Amino acid sequence: MEIANGQTLCAQHNFMKKNYKQTETGKKMFIHLYDLAKGMGDEKLKNFCLEILEVFERNGINGHIKWEK
């Protein structure tokens, strides 16, 4: 199992998720949510998304997807 991306999955389901590009979808979703929270001044939600996005960055997951802090 791997928890670096915020999900605990068995090897089979982790492989399926990777093949279906779910990490890209997840990162894009958190970028969008981060931007919305930032625009609305929701510091709690913004910080939550920031923590998750930093896990992506720290572990080199989907580095081709860029976001602005």
Sequence ranges of the domains in the chain: 21-58
pLDDT on residue 6: 65
pLDDT on residue 26: 84
Question: Rounded CA gap, 14 and 60, in Å?
Answer: 16
Place of tokens 């915020």: 6
For 10-67, write each residue's pLDDT tens digit.
787 777 666 666 677 888 999 999 999 999 999 999 999 999 999 989 988 888 888 8
pLDDT on residue 63: 84
What are the residues whose beta carbons fall under 8 Å from the beta carbon of 17, sequence distance 6 or more?
Answer: 7, 9, 23
pLDDT on residue 1: 47
pLDDT on residue 49: 95
